[in-house]
Chain A
Amino acid sequence: GENVEQHPSTLSVQEGDSAVIKCTYSDSASNYFPWYKQELGKRPQLIIDIRSNVGEKKDQRIAVTLNKTAKHFSLHITETQPEDSAVYFCAAAGKLTFGQGTILTVHP
Chain B
Amino acid sequence: DGGITQSPKYLFRKEGQNVTLSCEQNLNHDAMYWYRQDPGQGLRLIYYSQIVNDFQKGDIAEGYSVSREKKESFPLTVTSAQKNPTAFYLCASSIPQAGVNEQFFGPGTRLTVL
What residues of chain A have their CB less than 8 Å away from a CB belonging to chain B?
Answer: 1, 4, 6, 9, 31-32, 34, 42-46, 49, 51, 89, 93-101
Contacts and interface: CB of A to CB of B under 8 A. Distances in A.
* Interface SS, A side: loop
Interface of B: 1, 35, 40-45, 48, 59, 90, 96, 99-108
Given A43-B1, A43-B106, A43-B107, A32 B41 contact: no
B41 A42 contact: no
Contact of A44 (B44, B90, B101): B90
Contacts of A44: 43, 90, 105
Nearest to A99: B42
Given A94-B96, A94-B99, A96-B101, A43 B108 contact: yes
Contacts of B1: 43, 45
Contacts of A99: 42
B105 A100 contact: no
Contacts of B103: 34, 46, 96
A98 B42 contact: yes
B90 A101 contact: no
